[in-house]
Structure 1
């Protein structure tokens, strides 16, 4: 298959001790697995170089200043060869996820070019993450997506550079396209009519285990050149995965009705209608689910030994993927400000449709009052001072909350002027406070989801003096009822949240005894 590969012997590289750091090149670092693999390699002590068509897309990663970024495309063999000079291990984590007429041809050409470039540059090993394929199916019967991934793996195994081909089915972790499809379908549809492929057995794997195997493959013995099946300990149908997801996410049991007439194309249209996963991703995923994909061996453990408790169970993988939401860590979960604590957490660079639904209401107002006066009003909110908008609506919401066993709005506040993290504030709890700048409250009222309210006091940079008030209400719905709750309340947001922003800035201006800015 690789007759055009140059088999000219290369000059021997300087021997490495078992614990010496390696130089690793990662393609696909802007993607889901690649963006999580890079910090794992860095933590293992390796040097990392990233090959990307758009290196600027790497700058929002927390590790961006610790790697060498090279602009290039794996289809450009000359640039790839230059990028691979001095590299010990090359990770190939790129593939086409679309159904265009020539995507298999492009994947084939890119893999061959990369194999030749790695050989020319003297790379010691190629590591590729492909798809788990049915052992009893000829390639011609596979979906185009699985067929192409299998072919890429064969190209590397038949090439002149020793290769490790890891084959995985459904990867469980926030941001994984397969997991996000499972998340949205289960959360949004308490009753669903499903295609027959929901009865197909698959062997899912936690993203933590995928990254552990990828990282460990860097030090695989030089004489190893083969594919390895990787998977978790559970073999489940897609229907069982949806039911288990509902149980772990504390959703009511799902009613699932199977029908035989939904083709992969119709399934992808249905997935596109119900979830924000793009149809270009949904179709190859739906096509692949027609095949039973179960590991035929666990030989990878000979070279990358399993740690205690690994590989992770399906339920444990789900809990880790959902953990950040349960902990109500808004900044880590949904902004670009922090580093995720684990591979199963979302990354700032994950696509917008990843991470589950998050509804947001944003309000911004300029005020002639200074940041100090604005902050005094923000910190004094609640209790006897109220919530600066629609007092009757807040009172009714508090009564309703008490009726269903919630805290209601009568808790007030500990101190009339000062707040600290952990304080109760009517039916909110102070989750974060940056004196003079930020107050973040987490809702403790009975809701079909999780809710936060953030208020900021910022100096006004576009004019002399004054301040800018920013307000953000966030809601993470729990099941279909949570989505319905948000949209039923949406018509009142202008009155409640808009009135709050307007009246808070006015109160700050009265405190500062200044006139409001024009307009």
Structure 2
């Protein structure tokens, strides 16, 4: 008789990280129950998966989705709901999830959060940290993995960087572009999530999951431009341009949803550096993807999408042509 496969509830299954995590979970031997708000739409796009309707603000919905599962990946971020009070909503949803996980007898929750931020952090960063605290306070062992910028096709922060590098040959340099972070490839994040489900833990805890390089925003834009094949943008320092003010010109250059992109940009006003690399050391995952390689992979994946049309599509094609001629 074959032993039944363990089942994991994959929340946020249609989102950027969830889409990448599904295949890795299956390859690792997990049976995956994919959760989404709109099952009908998800089933049309991915028909050969187990889907369940999930509203993380509804205890009954969470309980039903968890039935028969052994563990859960918590990849829910309320910022995308456009609510003015997403921070409170995220905390309440995490409380509901933790309580229902106990009732369902789950053995582990793995949550993808953000690198710890200073006291004056954006609402977005504070909310992610508070959600981790709520989940770790529950009775079900919870592992919080803290990442900064995730590099991959579909990542909001990557989309902002990619569009700025591709479309602006000249840009003012706000002081937040000197802030440093440790960009991490989506492939490494997915690996961390899968490893986290089986990592030995005596109690709930958290680890940073940084990428292999510390880069400033300026360096990230320069490196991205090089991978794109466009000329390195000329950056003029304007130290008094705040993240909130500069988020308005980001709005006109990128395809990212502005209400969400604004919170991401505001969160860039300070360094977001991991405390250590212990998670990678403890799990034996040492071959982290370098930034340039992760950027190339993201751009290669972009080629599966329809070409960018309209004025910005023309701008990108012209700048790439000039970049090739100038190299």
1:201 is aligned to 2:184: no
Q: Which residue of 2 aligns with 1:322?
A: 299
**Secondary structure of residue in 1 paired with 2:93:** helix
1:106 and 2:99 are equivalent in the alignment: no
Instruction: State how 1:95-134 maps to structure 2 within 5 Å.
Output: 95-97=77-79, 100-134=83-117
The separation in 2 between residues aligned to 1:161 and 1:476, in whole angstroms, is: 51
Q: 1:229 to 1:144 in 2, by over 3 A?
A: same
TM-score normalized by the length of structure 1:
0.58
Counterparts of 1:334 and 1:21 in 2: how far apart (Å)? Answer: 35
Give the TM-score, by structure 2 length.
Answer: 0.90
Q: CA deviation at 1:322?
A: 1.9
> Could you tell me whether the CA contact under 8 Å between 1:231 and 1:311 is conserved in 2?
no
- Alpha-carbon shift at residue 359 of structure 1 (Å): 2.8
Displaced runs of 4+ in structure 1, greater than 4 A? none
Matched, 1:182 2:161: yes
Number of equivalent positions: 318
Superimposed CA distance per residue, residues 256-309 of structure 1 (whole angstroms, 9 cap, x where no aligned partner): 1121333333222211111121111210111110121111111212553215xx
Q: Is residue 75 from structure 1 mapped to residue 57 from structure 2 by the alignment?
A: yes
Moved more, 88-97 or 53-62: 53-62
Report if aligned partners of 2:230, 2:320 keep a CA contact under 8 Å in 1. Answer: no
Correspondences of 1:492-511 after superposition (within 5 Å): none
Q: Partners in 1 of 2:22 and 2:300 — Cα distance?
A: 22
State the secondary structure of the residue aligned to 2:236: strand
Root mean square deviation of aligned Cα: 2.3
Residues 441-452 of structure 1 mapped to structure 2, 5 A cutoff: none
Match of 2:248 in 1: 269
Matched with 2:275 is 296
SS in 1 for 2:188: helix
Is contact 2:176–2:242 with CA below 8 Å preserved after alignment?
Answer: no
- In structure 1, C-alpha distance between the alignment counterparts of 2:316 and 2:174, rounded to whole Å: 26
1:27 aligns with 2:6: no
Q: Which residue of 2 aligns with 1:242?
A: 221
Aligned-partner Cα distance in 1 for 2:175–2:206:
30
In structure 2, C-alpha distance between the alignment counterparts of 1:278 and 1:161, rounded to whole Å? 35
1:48 matched to 2:19 = no
In the alignment, which residue of structure 2 is the partner of 1:212?
191
The offset of 1:71, in angstroms, is 1.2
Say whether 1:311 aligns with 2:288: yes
Residues 87, 303 of structure 1: CA spacing in aligned structure 2 closer, same or farther, 3 A cutoff?
A: farther
The CA distance in 2 between the partners of 1:160 and 1:291, in whole Å, is 34
- Residue 358 of structure 1 corresponds to which residue in structure 2? 308
Give unpaired runs (5+ residues) of structure 2.
323-327
**Stretch of structure 1 that moved more, 86-95 or 253-262:** 253-262
| Aligned match of 1:88 | 70
Give the number of the structure whose residues are more often helix, by fraction. 2
CA shift for structure 1 position 101: 3.3
Q: Which has the higher contact order (CA 8 A, sep 6+)?
A: 2
Q: Is the contact made by 2:74 and 2:112 (CA closer than 8 Å) also made in structure 1?
A: yes
Describe the shift of the 1:225–1:479 C-alpha distance in structure 2 as closer, same or farther (beyond 3 A).
Answer: farther
Structure 1: give runs of 5+ residues left out of the alignment. Answer: 1-16, 336-356, 361-448, 450-474, 484-519
Distance 1:479 1:121 in 2: 56
Give yes or no for contact 2:109–2:143 (8 Å, CA) kept in 1. Answer: yes
Match of 2:325 in 1: none
Cα distance in 2, alignment partners of residues 260 and 56 from structure 1: 49
SS in 1 for 2:109: strand
Aligned to 1:173: 152
